[in-house]
Amino acid sequence: MMNEPDDQWSVTLQRGVASLDFKVTRDSTIGTPVMTGALGDVRGARALVQAAALAAVEADRWVATGAGDVPIPRDLVLTRRDLANAKAAEPPGSATSPFTAGYTAIYRLELARLLWSAISDAPARRLEELARRIPS
């Protein structure tokens, strides 16, 4: 289970998810913010953390589209939406607000849990499979 204190997977997934950069753009056709999760700087990270970061990008896509390899909890979709709205409300170049920081932390934690549910049956193999879906 991911919550075991000696379990490497919890830390690996959290580090991978923590490396994501979230960018917000405004969709001119619907007028709402669109957030994308992108691979952050993982240079120097262990290969397993790099794979977790790539897999986290894929899991973020699942949440954005509402469909993936595992069921997407509605609360996670709403948390992602709240994060996108908070990021969109920040003036360009401003410091990150406490609201945005909070939404980011919650979303990352829940995204790591979603990722665990997708790989728990065979963590190493499944993580590698998910990581290969994203062009590096």
In tens digits, what is the pLDDT along the chain, a chain of 136 residues? Answer: 455 544 788 899 999 999 999 988 877 777 777 898 888 888 878 888 999 999 999 999 999 999 989 999 999 999 999 999 999 998 888 888 998 999 999 999 999 999 999 999 999 999 999 999 876 5
Say what the pLDDT of residue 135 is: 66
Which tokens sit at 123? 């963590």
Amino acid identity of residue 116, one-letter, is W
Cα angle for residues 12, 24, 46 (degrees, 5° grid): 20
Say what the pLDDT of residue 40 is: 86
Q: Taking a C-beta distance cutoff of 8 angstroms, is the pair 98, 91 a contact?
A: no
By CB atoms closer than 10 A (0-12, 13-18, 19+), residue 114 is: buried
pTM as predicted: 0.85
Say what the pLDDT of residue 2 is: 52
Burial track 36-52 (b if 16+ CB lie within 10 A, e otherwise): ebebbebeebeebbbbb
Say what the pLDDT of residue 46 is: 84
Domain range for 57: 4-132
Which tokens sit at 23? 């960018």
**Interaxial angle between packed helices 74-89 and 47-65, expressed in degrees from 0 to 180 and rounded to the nearest 10:** 90
- Total number of domains in the chain: 1
